């Protein structure tokens, strides 16, 4: 998988979010006195309403189910060799570093590969990272619609031997505050500590 494909979606997100300050911190021109983040500030974007998919237990979930929590939504697939497990492992580490406050962080893994990511596979995958993590899996059409609403790029790449496939896909994560509002787009590879600082800022009510 080529994580650089995330740039296709990030360009639009960055344009929406505004510019970065000289110190590298992201700020939103719609809220010039607001907090500065390490991630791209997308406050004002309307992504959350599009998230309505069954979880691996078959229950339809939306962001309203997690009101009061900071929610991180990541689109990936369980057979991903690098970006997906790294991102989910980082979220698990952030949750641990938050200590008691970690109960207010909810990670959601949205499968881009419902053909292979069965409910059983997804449950095992996310709970192997952290028991509280939630996986969502729709039909192929539902997945395509939600990804499009989030401006998430993904496409199948045939295997070199003609067998199977991988997925190229947007490599970043979407972060929502406790009111269900889209606030940040976190680039893959930013690292745990900058991401942790952003999560703490949102948990503090920013």
Say how far apart CA 24 and CA 36 lie, in whole Å.
9
Expressed in angstroms, the distance from the first to the final Cα of the chain is: 35
Say how far apart CA 77 and CA 73 lie, in whole Å.
13
Say how far apart CA 154 and CA 170 lie, in whole Å.
7
Burial, 104: exposed, middle or buried (Cβ in 10 Å; 0-12, 13-18, 19+)?
Answer: middle
Say how far apart CA 194 and CA 174 lie, in whole Å.
15
What's the DSSP call for residue 81?
A: S
Q: Please check if 16 is assigned to a binding site.
A: no
**Maximum distance among all alpha carbons in the chain?**
54
CA atoms lying within 13 Å on the CB side of residue 67: 3
Q: Please check if 80 is assigned to a binding site.
A: yes
Residue 82 parent element (H or E): none
Which parts are annotated binding residues? 80, 84, 169
Which parts are annotated binding residues for Cu cation? 80, 84, 169
């Amino acid at each position: 998988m080529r994580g650089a494909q995330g740039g296709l979606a990030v360009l639009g997100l960055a344009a929406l979010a505004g510019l970065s300050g000289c110190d590298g911190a992201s700020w939103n021109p719609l809220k010039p006195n607001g907090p500065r983040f390490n991630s791209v500030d997308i406050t004002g974007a309307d992504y959350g309403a599009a998230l309505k998919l069954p979880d691996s237990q078959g229950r339809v979930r939306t962001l309203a189910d997690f009101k009061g929590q900071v929610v991180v939504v990541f689109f990936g697939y369980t057979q991903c060799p690098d970006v997906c497990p790294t991102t989910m492992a980082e979220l698990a580490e952030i949750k641990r570093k938050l200590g008691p406050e970690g109960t207010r962080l909810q990670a959601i893994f949205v499968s881009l590969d419902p053909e292979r990511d069965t409910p059983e596979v997804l449950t095992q995958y996310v709970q192997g990272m952290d028991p509280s993590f939630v996986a969502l899996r729709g039909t192929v059409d539902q997945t395509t619609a939600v990804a499009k609403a989030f401006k998430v790029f993904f496409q199948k790449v045939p295997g070199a031997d003609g067998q199977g496939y991988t997925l190229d896909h947007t490599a970043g994560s979407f972060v929502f505050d406790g009111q269900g509002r889209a606030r940040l787009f976190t680039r893959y590879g930013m690292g745990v500590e900058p991401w942790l600082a952003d999560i703490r800022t949102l948990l503090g009510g920013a």
